[in-house]
Amino acid sequence: PSLPASEEGFQPMPSITIRPPDDQHLPTANTCISRLYVPLYSSKQILKQKLLLA
Question: Model confidence over 12-49: pLDDT tens digits?
Answer: 788 999 999 999 999 999 998 889 999 999 999 999 99
Please indicate, yes or no, if residue 29 is contained in any of the structural domains.
yes
Q: Can you give the residue range of the structural domain that contains 16?
A: 12-53
In which order are the strands placed within the sheet that holds 35-39? 15-19, 35-39, 28-30
pLDDT band at 52 (very low <50, low <70, confident <90, very high): very high
Q: Is 32 a catalytic residue?
A: yes
Single out the residue of 16, 20, 39 nearest to residue 47, CA to CA: 39
Asked whether residue 6 is assigned to any structural domain, the reply reads no
CA pair distance 44, 31, nearest whole angstrom: 24
The answer to whether residue 3 sits within a structural domain is no
Beta-ladder partners of 6:
none
Is 1 among the domain residues?
no
Could you give the number of structural domains in the chain? 1
Helix (H) or strand (E) holding 52: helix 44-53
Q: What is the pTM of this model?
A: 0.72
Task: Single out the catalytic residue among 32, 33, 52, 53.
Answer: 32
What's the rounded Cα separation, in Å, for the pair 9 and 13?
A: 10
